[in-house]
Amino acid sequence: MPKVTVYSTQNCPYCRMVKAFLDRQGVKYMSFDVGTDKEQAKKMIEVSGQYGVPVVTVDDEVIVGFDVRRLTELFGKEDGGDLYDVLIIGAGPAGLTAGVYCARKMLKTVIVSENIGGQAIESWAIENYMGYRMVTGDDLMRKFEEQARENNIRLELDRVLTLDRTGNDFLANTFTGLGIRARSVILAQGKHPKSLGIEGEGRYLGRGLSVCATCDGPLFRDKIVAVVGAGNSALQTALEMSRIAKEVHLIVRSTLKCDESYTKRYESVKNIITHMNATISKLQGNNVLTGITIKDRSSGKETDLVLDGVFLQIGWIPNTDFLEGLVNMNDDKEVIIDIDCKTSVPGIFAAGDVTNIKTKQIITAAGEGAKAALSAHEYLTG
């Protein structure tokens, strides 16, 4: 057996998924928490050049992030199953809730998702989900996952590349080569983070530039960081990082667009420096990010900031590329649904942030997932 090492942080959901994948495949590995172990953090950076987790080493090979395809190539995969009643794409609040409701209706169900928890797992603290005064996104989604697994639902960590109708059924082809057939489909694959769209962005991702503060935040203890964004996620990230980092620069494109509860807390924090009406015009550094240039949108004046890390919280884009030409979408590439979560194609339903519903919240996504499952059951039973 190869020597496998996993470098992770305590609150990183993608790290947990890597370990769950290896456990499922019966792979033995060593695990180090680089958020608390400075020596192992230094070793991880030396080996991979990364300031982001997870990092997996398999003998001399370095795997950055939760790379499902490479891990599957190394450690094997399950074959595609028989015909399913329902294929659910996505395992966030909408997808996992849909899975539980489908299972309760005795529908043979498979969930295919790149991760478990979707956008919710990146929330530092959730204070508006009924039944909890406060819960982290990772903890809440772990409860969702436990309930889904208790209902004997097949869960594949994979990415759907194509979805087509074949006769009366649907066929999904995945990143790792699975072909999954189902009588109905529930789309619940959510969204992915927006990028800055400036030169060098890809080069610095994981090397000072991060889209998951809950994953990478502990690596920037006592350092200087920036948070880009103006909404609840950006303010929450700035507040949490202010407890970890020495100094936090909050870069806001126009004005703050967050709940008053976040604003009140933010105004009392001394080590958050806010740059209003500003954008990042340049990323600086060689192998790792060492600074940024911000531009005042009114005057055009540019200012250089020396820092160690940047966390992006600038919005999300629907994961709907593989649906082009299959279902109707709006100008924002969100799937258009009716009140019963039906799309323009009979047998395909959708729920959560991937749809055109106005409210993008965990609690509404879960409710829409339940509705989609009940509509799928009605469709299948005639």
Active site residues: 212, 215-216
Structure tokens at 270: 């001394």
DSSP string, 57-118: EETTEEEES--HHHHHHHH--PPP-S-EEEEEE--SHHHHHHHHHHHHTT--EEEEESSSSG
Which stretch of DSSP H or E encloses residue 204? helix 201-204
Structure tokens at 83: 């015909």
* Torsion angle, alpha carbons of 146, 150, 156, 160, to 10: -80
In 283-335, which ranges are continuous DSSP H helix?
none
Rounded-to-integer distance, Cα 20 and Cα 18, Å: 5
CB 187 within 8 A of CB 353: no
Burial environment of residue 101 by CB neighbours within 10 A (0 to 12, 13 to 18, 19 or more): buried
